[in-house]
Amino acid sequence: MRISKFGNLYQLTLLPRLFPVNCYLYEEENELILIDAGMPASFKGIVHLIERINKPLTNIILTHAHGDHVGSVDQLKQRFPNVIVSISVRDNRLLLGDQSLGDEEPKLPIKGGFDKNLKTIPDLLLNEGDRIGSFEVISTPGHTPGSISLFNTINKQLIVGDAMQTKGKVAVVGQLVPTFPFPTFGTWNKKLALESVKKILQLEPSLVAVGHGKVLENPMDILKQAIHEAEKKLVTV
């Protein structure tokens, strides 16, 4: 597992060259917060880093319910039984196997893989504006109906899950990147995904950390370019 550090934020990347799957560990003053849990094979690397930093893991926040973001949750919950696992109210339904859509939601098929054998039941269900440590929950639907991003109100770092990808190309999720198409294949609503990245832009983040690919530092110009390209493609559809 490759580990990269950006201030107090650690990016842990499984299979960095072939199929990068990221999760993020943030070091607060007295605790650690894990954002996403990668694949089952991510477990050992996550635990090794937690032990190296030597602070308690208090929270696991899931940006959405896809299997490549919740893969080591059961192992982590067993290893750290007091950790609080959280996900959005909306995507908790997906964890429970409910792929039905609400009356107000666009009637598009929910895509992507889900772990049908997941045993962990989230301890906390999140809505926009909720706070955990230094992070504020930002609703960024599109990839899934209940996808969230986590905005660090101290340093303006933003962890966006699969709202964007940087592997292959920096792109709004749902825009096909031929060299790494998998996030697009798992995207529910690309129009909502575009609106979510426009929302992200308004936060003026200092850093954008994605589920698949490298971290974007000083990301404003490249965010604007990705939005522009997505807008052009949606117009031509």
For 16-70, how does the pLDDT look when each residue is reduced to its tens digit (9 = 90+)? 988 999 999 999 999 999 999 999 999 999 999 999 999 999 999 999 999 999 9
- Tokens encoding 80: 């750290």
Q: How much is the mean pLDDT over the chain?
A: 97
Query: Which domains, from first to last, does the chain contain?
Result: 2-236 (3.60.15.10)
Q: Is the model's pLDDT at 235 over the cut of 80?
A: no
Owner of token pair 């007091």: 82
pTM equals: 0.97
Contact present, 161 and 36 (Cβ < 8 Å): yes
At residue 233, the pLDDT reads 85
CA within 13 Å, CB half, 142: 26
Which element (helix H / strand E) includes 231?
helix 220-236
CA distance 44 to 76: 9
Give the per-residue SS3 of 57-82: EEEEECCCCCHHHHCCHHHHHHHCCC
Beta-strand relationship, 9-14 and 2-6 = antiparallel
In percent, the amount of the chain with pLDDT more than 90 equals: 97
Helix axes 220-236, 190-202, angle to 10 degrees: 150
Summarize the confidence of residues 184-210 as an average pLDDT.
98
pLDDT digits (tens, 9 = 90+) for 91-126: 999 999 999 999 999 999 999 999 999 999 999 999
CA distance 225 to 193: 15
Contact present, 134 and 26 (Cβ < 8 Å): yes
At residue 236, the pLDDT reads 58
- Tokens encoding 55: 């602070």
pLDDT digits (tens, 9 = 90+) for 111-167: 999 999 999 999 999 999 999 999 999 999 999 999 999 999 999 999 999 999 999
Phi, psi of 158 (to 5 degrees): -130, 120
